[in-house]
Structure 1
Protein backbone atom coordinates (compact mmCIF):
# COMPACT_ATOMS: atom_id res chain seq x y z
CA UNK A 1 0.00 0.00 0.00
CA UNK A 2 1.52 3.35 -0.98
CA UNK A 3 2.14 6.00 1.67
CA UNK A 4 1.08 9.48 0.54
CA UNK A 5 2.33 12.71 2.10
CA UNK A 6 0.16 15.82 2.33
CA UNK A 7 0.79 19.29 3.72
CA UNK A 8 -2.33 20.50 5.54
CA UNK A 9 -2.72 23.97 7.07
CA UNK A 10 -3.19 23.03 10.74
CA UNK A 11 -3.02 25.67 13.44
CA UNK A 12 -4.18 23.74 16.51
CA UNK A 13 -5.14 20.36 17.89
CA UNK A 14 -8.73 21.04 16.82
CA UNK A 15 -7.47 20.97 13.22
CA UNK A 16 -5.76 17.61 13.68
CA UNK A 17 -8.87 16.30 15.46
CA UNK A 18 -10.99 17.31 12.44
CA UNK A 19 -8.59 15.47 10.14
CA UNK A 20 -8.78 12.39 12.34
CA UNK A 21 -12.60 12.45 12.19
CA UNK A 22 -12.79 12.62 8.38
CA UNK A 23 -10.01 10.07 7.84
CA UNK A 24 -11.61 7.60 10.26
CA UNK A 25 -14.66 7.54 7.97
CA UNK A 26 -12.59 6.06 5.13
CA UNK A 27 -12.21 2.28 4.88
CA UNK A 28 -8.79 0.58 4.72
CA UNK A 29 -6.77 3.69 5.53
CA UNK A 30 -3.89 4.11 7.98
CA UNK A 31 -2.71 7.62 8.75
CA UNK A 32 -0.32 9.67 10.86
CA UNK A 33 -0.72 13.36 11.64
CA UNK A 34 2.27 15.59 12.47
CA UNK A 35 0.47 18.76 13.54
CA UNK A 36 3.56 20.88 14.39
CA UNK A 37 4.96 20.32 10.88
CA UNK A 38 1.57 20.40 9.08
CA UNK A 39 2.11 16.92 7.62
CA UNK A 40 -0.28 14.03 7.13
CA UNK A 41 0.80 10.61 5.89
CA UNK A 42 -1.88 8.28 4.58
CA UNK A 43 -1.34 4.63 3.67
CA UNK A 44 -4.06 3.66 1.23
CA UNK A 45 -4.80 2.14 -2.15
CA UNK A 46 -7.42 4.83 -2.71
CA UNK A 47 -6.96 7.37 -5.48
CA UNK A 48 -5.06 10.51 -4.44
CA UNK A 49 -8.02 12.66 -5.54
CA UNK A 50 -10.28 10.82 -3.07
CA UNK A 51 -7.78 11.40 -0.28
CA UNK A 52 -7.40 15.10 -1.20
CA UNK A 53 -11.17 15.66 -1.27
CA UNK A 54 -11.51 13.93 2.10
CA UNK A 55 -8.83 16.17 3.65
CA UNK A 56 -10.40 19.29 2.11
CA UNK A 57 -13.68 18.53 3.90
CA UNK A 58 -12.01 20.01 6.99
CA UNK A 59 -11.83 23.41 5.25
CA UNK A 60 -8.03 23.43 5.43
CA UNK A 61 -5.60 24.13 2.60
CA UNK A 62 -4.18 20.83 1.30
CA UNK A 63 -1.12 20.17 -0.88
CA UNK A 64 0.00 16.75 -2.12
CA UNK A 65 3.74 16.06 -1.75
CA UNK A 66 3.79 12.61 -3.38
CA UNK A 67 4.44 9.12 -2.14
CA UNK A 68 7.09 8.31 0.44
Structure 2
Protein backbone atom coordinates (compact mmCIF):
# COMPACT_ATOMS: atom_id res chain seq x y z
CA UNK A 1 0.00 0.00 0.00
CA UNK A 2 1.44 3.42 -0.92
CA UNK A 3 2.19 5.85 1.89
CA UNK A 4 2.30 9.62 1.48
CA UNK A 5 4.83 11.83 3.24
CA UNK A 6 5.40 15.55 3.39
CA UNK A 7 9.09 16.39 2.92
CA UNK A 8 10.40 19.96 3.10
CA UNK A 9 11.98 20.00 -0.39
CA UNK A 10 12.84 23.31 -2.03
CA UNK A 11 14.89 22.30 -5.07
CA UNK A 12 16.08 19.43 -7.25
CA UNK A 13 18.95 18.80 -4.83
CA UNK A 14 16.41 18.06 -2.10
CA UNK A 15 14.49 15.65 -4.32
CA UNK A 16 17.78 14.00 -5.31
CA UNK A 17 18.52 13.44 -1.61
CA UNK A 18 15.13 11.73 -1.22
CA UNK A 19 15.83 9.61 -4.30
CA UNK A 20 19.25 8.65 -2.96
CA UNK A 21 18.03 7.45 0.47
CA UNK A 22 15.03 5.58 -0.95
CA UNK A 23 17.20 3.83 -3.54
CA UNK A 24 19.57 2.75 -0.75
CA UNK A 25 16.58 1.39 1.19
CA UNK A 26 15.58 -0.62 -1.87
CA UNK A 27 18.95 -2.43 -2.16
CA UNK A 28 20.74 0.44 -3.83
CA UNK A 29 19.70 0.11 -7.46
CA UNK A 30 20.80 3.11 -9.45
CA UNK A 31 18.05 5.12 -11.06
CA UNK A 32 18.61 6.24 -14.64
CA UNK A 33 17.18 9.60 -15.65
CA UNK A 34 15.18 9.58 -18.85
CA UNK A 35 16.91 11.06 -21.88
CA UNK A 36 14.29 13.82 -21.89
CA UNK A 37 15.68 15.15 -18.58
CA UNK A 38 17.52 18.40 -19.15
CA UNK A 39 20.16 19.65 -16.76
CA UNK A 40 22.17 22.85 -16.91
CA UNK A 41 25.32 20.82 -16.31
CA UNK A 42 25.05 18.96 -19.61
CA UNK A 43 23.76 21.80 -21.79
CA UNK A 44 26.06 23.49 -24.27
CA UNK A 45 27.50 26.62 -22.69
CA UNK A 46 25.92 28.81 -25.39
CA UNK A 47 22.45 27.77 -24.28
CA UNK A 48 23.14 28.44 -20.60
CA UNK A 49 23.58 32.14 -21.28
CA UNK A 50 20.18 32.78 -22.82
CA UNK A 51 17.71 34.60 -20.60
CA UNK A 52 14.78 32.81 -22.18
CA UNK A 53 16.17 29.44 -21.15
CA UNK A 54 16.86 30.60 -17.60
CA UNK A 55 13.25 31.69 -17.20
CA UNK A 56 12.13 28.29 -18.47
CA UNK A 57 14.30 26.42 -15.98
CA UNK A 58 12.79 26.12 -12.55
CA UNK A 59 14.61 28.13 -9.84
CA UNK A 60 17.96 28.03 -11.62
CA UNK A 61 18.88 24.47 -10.71
CA UNK A 62 18.18 22.95 -14.10
CA UNK A 63 15.16 20.95 -13.07
CA UNK A 64 12.39 21.14 -15.60
CA UNK A 65 10.69 17.96 -14.47
CA UNK A 66 9.34 18.44 -10.96
CA UNK A 67 6.98 15.49 -10.75
CA UNK A 68 8.53 12.19 -11.67
CA UNK A 69 7.91 8.51 -10.94
CA UNK A 70 10.94 6.53 -9.78
CA UNK A 71 11.38 2.78 -10.13
CA UNK A 72 13.37 2.58 -6.89
CA UNK A 73 15.11 -0.57 -5.74
CA UNK A 74 13.77 -3.98 -4.73
CA UNK A 75 10.29 -3.57 -3.28
CA UNK A 76 10.42 0.26 -3.26
CA UNK A 77 8.67 2.51 -5.75
CA UNK A 78 8.20 6.20 -5.13
CA UNK A 79 6.79 9.32 -6.69
CA UNK A 80 8.26 12.74 -5.86
CA UNK A 81 6.01 15.78 -6.28
CA UNK A 82 8.43 18.67 -5.74
CA UNK A 83 5.98 21.60 -6.14
CA UNK A 84 3.65 20.12 -3.50
CA UNK A 85 6.53 18.82 -1.35
CA UNK A 86 5.09 15.31 -1.22
CA UNK A 87 6.61 11.88 -1.62
CA UNK A 88 4.47 8.79 -2.18
CA UNK A 89 6.27 5.54 -1.37
CA UNK A 90 4.99 2.07 -2.25
CA UNK A 91 7.07 -0.33 -0.20
CA UNK A 92 6.96 -3.44 1.95
CA UNK A 93 8.79 -1.53 4.70
CA UNK A 94 6.98 -0.16 7.74
CA UNK A 95 5.98 3.50 8.03
CA UNK A 96 8.52 3.93 10.85
CA UNK A 97 11.32 2.62 8.61
CA UNK A 98 10.25 4.92 5.78
CA UNK A 99 10.08 7.93 8.15
CA UNK A 100 13.55 7.13 9.49
CA UNK A 101 14.92 6.70 5.97
CA UNK A 102 13.42 9.97 4.69
CA UNK A 103 14.72 11.70 7.82
CA UNK A 104 18.27 10.85 6.72
CA UNK A 105 17.93 13.60 4.12
CA UNK A 106 18.06 16.21 6.89
CA UNK A 107 14.71 17.60 5.76
CA UNK A 108 11.59 17.91 7.91
CA UNK A 109 9.41 14.85 7.26
CA UNK A 110 5.87 14.02 8.34
CA UNK A 111 3.56 11.13 7.55
CA UNK A 112 0.33 12.16 5.80
CA UNK A 113 -1.28 8.72 5.66
CA UNK A 114 -1.98 6.01 3.13
CA UNK A 115 -2.70 7.15 -0.39
CA–CA distance in structure 2, aligned partners of residues 58 and 17 of structure 1: 9
Number of aligned residues: 67
Bigger Cα Rg: 2
- Provide Cα deviations, 1:12-35, integer angstroms capped at 9, x if missing partner: 110000100000011210000001
Q: How does 1:1-68 map to 2 (within 5 A)?
A: 2-27=1-26, 28-68=75-115
- Provide Cα deviations, 1:39-68, integer angstroms capped at 9, x if missing partner: 000001211000000000000000101101
TM (normalized to structure 1)? 0.95
Aligned to 2:38: none
Q: What's the Cα RMSD here?
A: 0.6
Please list every run of 5 or more consecutive structure 1 residues that lacks an aligned counterpart in the other structure. none
Please list every run of 5 or more consecutive structure 2 residues that lacks an aligned counterpart in the other structure. 27-74
Q: Runs of 4 or more off by more than 6 Å in structure 1?
A: none
TM (normalized to structure 2)? 0.57
